[in-house]
Chain A
Amino acid sequence: MQTLWRRQRWWLTPVLLIAPGILLFFTVILLSAVRSVWISFHEWDGFGPMVWIGLGNYIELYSDPQFYVSLKNNLIWLVMFMAAPPIGLAIALLVNQKIRGMRFLKSLFFIPLVLASVTVGVVFTWVYTPEFGLLALIFRAFGAVAPAVLSDEHFVTFAIVIAALWPQITFCMVLYLAGLNNLSEELIGAGRVDGARGWNMLRHIVLPQLTQVTFIAIAVTVVGALRSFDMISVMTAGGPFGSSSVLAYQMYEQSIFSYRFGYGAAIATVLFVIMAVFIAWYLTHIIRSEERGG
């Protein structure tokens, strides 16, 4: 036994070392994702037996008006979230100076990033509270009355996305600050010699060096937008009348509150397909840069 171990350990040890990670990740995460797709072809209340109904859930989804509201809101999230990388870059450019005290000020800028999204949700619910909130206070200063944004179906999604942008912008800013610290001094110097300044410098010399960072900033922003759930759950619970719901929230609501696990799984699958397209694009990008030895 002992000699067997001695002889085989060169390959057995690595297998044993990686096994727990693979086992856990593959059974809990990847297998679950696949099982969701399987469940989406069934009618299931979460307790009893599953009944195969083929594409039944998807057909129902196709004519569910709430599905289109959620999809539209997901799109609003995605589009508005694209403001995070440029604003993050702008703040990063603003604070990127080495002056005494700046390190501390910079770290204060980072705070929204470490707050739980529930915290951000509650903070902004307070800001948006009609009559008493910060927004109402600001409107009153201009002699106007702030609309009750969270109970108005036209404003509600925009209000939630603005709240969610707060930590997202911070994330992008952190990434860009790291990127700005890795700029090539030579290229910048050469640009200065050639008389490049301000916008031209940024556009032609700085941004090209930040392509990798921009790619990552956009990637985390897309994922963040598609995953949005916490803020909606905390701020409006999808309301008023489902007008601020997104696919993730509708799915949760259908499964946990209405016990329609099959239907919920179908919504999750749609969300998954949207995300899968994105993941595929992302993975090909990093595998390619891996092969290039980056």
Chain B
Amino acid sequence: MYPRPIPETAIWQRRVYVLAVVIVLLAWLCPLFAIVLTSFRSTADVMGGNLWGWPTEIGVIDNYRAVFTDTPMARYFLNSLTITIPSVIGVLVMSTLAGFVLSRYRFRGNMLIFALFVGGNFLPHQIMMIPVRDLMVQLDLIDTTAALIIFHVAFQTGFATLFMRNFIAALPDELFQAARAEGASPFQTLVHVVIPLVKPALAALAILIFTFVWNDYFWAVVLTVSDSVKPVTAGLANLRGEWVSAWNLISAGTIVVAVPPVVMFFLMQRHFIAGLTMGAVKG
């Protein structure tokens, strides 16, 4: 262990250490606390300039109700779900198939395809923007959730394939030899050998891709225009323009956008960290 662990017997040292960490943590999350506290403020206080003093009344319920009833936020939220969930499923399917083939079959061009999948991942999104937008216009999909789903599945498949390939490549060879000896077809091998073993990787990928897609903003503003298809990220940016200085409402809206990925993270923390570091450290 580095740094040297603080021994269990040094109770006071431990207490001081934990206290120091808590202080750093408070400073670290200070901007977040600011926004949470502001989302509790009443409109009267915000308009009166009382943003940090003792609140005259608590506006938390009014604020969050206003976000959902006076603005299209509920709609945006639903849109985000209809974009994110199919995208995650699409990516998982595509990348398991591609990762299986790339890790278990040797053929000319294998490394090249793999390198393109990895390299494509690092492309700045802007280089694809104009043609992807044009493609969606041609397909008559512009300003639909389908446009975003297709793009996200295509793009995330690159990263996810790298991830699945490395995971499947690390499975013991004997399993595949045994499957072949039993006369299993490649498809049977995939279904009966690979899929049961890659469940942890799939969980890690699912949470990662969920966060990536949910948090996307660039493609949301490029491919969608109407409120009926916009996800929360683009919606929040809109609302900020409309509310201007109603910081209590903006804060509440921000929290609404932040909650799903944060909750997902806390529910599946181990998978999230494992996924992030495995994808990165192995890559």
Q: Which residues of A contact B (CB under 8 A)?
A: 9-10, 13-14, 17-18, 20-22, 24-33, 35-36, 39, 46, 91, 93-99, 101-102, 105, 107-112, 114-119, 122-127, 129, 132-134, 137, 166, 171, 174-175, 178-180, 183, 185, 188, 192, 201-202, 205-206, 212-213, 216, 220, 223, 226-227, 229-230, 233-234, 247-248, 251-252, 255-256, 261, 264-265, 267-269, 271-272, 275, 278-279, 282-283, 286-287, 290
Contact = CB atoms under 8 A, between A and B. Distances in A.
Interface string B135-156: 1000000000000001101110
Contacts, number: 288
Interface in B1-58: 1-6, 14, 17-18, 21-22, 24-25, 28-32, 34-35, 38, 49, 51-52
Given A13-B186, A134-B34, A251-B126, A283 B240 contact: no
A29 B266 contact: no
A39 B119 CA distance: 22
Contact of A255 (B115, B130, B161, B187): B130
B185 interface: yes
Contacts of B273: 110, 174, 178
Interface string B203-231: 00000000100111110011000000000
Contacts of B3: 93, 96-97
Interface residues of B, number: 99
Contacts of A114: 211, 215, 261-262, 264-265, 272
Contacts of B237: 118, 233-234
Contacts of A91: 24, 28
Contacts of B65: none
Interface of B: 1-6, 14, 17-18, 21-22, 24-25, 28-32, 34-35, 38, 49, 51-52, 94-95, 97-98, 100-102, 105, 107, 111, 113, 115-120, 122-135, 150-151, 153-155, 157-158, 161, 185-187, 190, 211, 214-218, 221-222, 233-234, 236-237, 240, 247, 250-251, 254, 257-258, 261-262, 264-266, 269, 272-273, 276-277, 280-281, 283
Given A178-B281, A272-B124, A97 B5 contact: yes
A134 B37 CA distance: 11
A239 B30 CA distance: 26
A36 B98 contact: no
A110 B233 CA distance: 20
